[in-house]
Amino acid sequence: MRTRQHSTTRSTARSAATSPPPAGRGRPERGRVSDTVGTEVPDRDRPQRSDDRQGIGARLALFYRQVVAELRKVVWPTRRELITYTWVVLVFVTVVATIVAVLDLIFAKGVLWVFGGS
């Protein structure tokens, strides 16, 4: 069983870490060490959370302004469209309720017939 010399392995690891990434699919080869491993982000580069410094009233006001802004983007139906959609919903609900009622009646009669009710 042969063992490797550590100096050769270290120089290979250093050259692999400093060489540019391979051309191709944009992914480094398996087992490669990235240049950014172990680096820390300084505190000054991290974004500060602005909502930590605002009070509850300011956050609620911001939320309300955003809701109003989104509602202005909505395409509201015309009166005629609203009436049409209302009728479509009412007819659909009536049809489904009728189907459920008929099926309920059929199953109730079937259960009474199977179990011998009067």
Q: Is residue 14 part of a domain?
A: no
Residue 86 has pLDDT above 70, yes or no: yes
Residue 25's alpha-carbon distances to 12, 22, 29, 40, 115, in angstroms, are: 23, 8, 10, 27, 70
Would 70 be classed as within a structural domain?
yes
Per the domain annotation, does 111 fall within a domain? yes
State the chain's mean pLDDT as an integer. 79
38 assigned to some structural domain: no
In a domain, 45, yes or no: no
Stretch 62-73: mean pLDDT: 96
Confidence of residue 100 (pLDDT cuts 50, 70, 90): very high
pLDDT the model gives residue 53: 76
In a domain, residue 8? The reply is no
**Residue 85 domain boundaries:** 53-115
- Domain assignment present for residue 47? The answer is no
pLDDT of 9 strictly over 70: no
**Residue 43: inside a domain:** no
Spatial distance between the Cα atoms of 70 and 16, rounded to a whole number of angstroms: 51
Q: How many structural domains are present in the chain?
A: 1
Q: Specify the pLDDT at position 51.
A: 47
